[in-house]
Amino acid sequence: MDAFFKKLKNRKQEGQAVVEYVLLLGVVLIMFLTVFRHPKFQQFLGKEGAFFKQYKLLLEYSYRYGLEGNTDPAPNYTNAHPSYFDGGDTRFFSNKTKYPE
């Protein structure tokens, strides 16, 4: 019996830190995946998340019009266009009537 306890006492302990570290990593990974896969998180930062939808709209609007905004009025060139003509304000430098034919 004494020989058995002596054998146990002499066993190496250096693996303990590694095992604990791997277990801790596992816990951290599970916590991360739990948060990442949560529907609320996915709704905000997922593939089709609200954050990226807004980010996309903001980039598209500012690229097209050179202005800050996120609601594209999709102008059909019959009247207002945020970059060129909006009510009384216009950036066109031209005559107000069509060139006569």
Interface contacts to another protein, rule CB under 8 A: 14, 17-18, 21, 25, 45-49, 51-53, 55-56, 59-60, 63-64, 76-79, 81, 83-85, 92, 94, 98-101
CB 85 within 8 A of CB 79: yes
CA gap 88, 86 in Å, rounded: 6
Chain position carrying tokens 């996309």: 56
Q: Smallest distance from the beta carbon of 63 to another protein, in angstroms?
A: 5
Q: Among residues 38 and 84, whose Cβ is nearest to another protein?
A: 84
Nearer of residues 6 and 74 to another protein, judged by Cβ: 74
CB of 1 to another protein, least distance (A): 27
The answer to whether the beta carbons of residues 91 and 84 sit under 8 Å apart is yes
- Closest contact distance (angstroms) between CB of 4 and another protein is 23
**Residue 61: CB partners within 8 Å, gap ≥ 6?**
67, 68, 69, 70, 71, 72
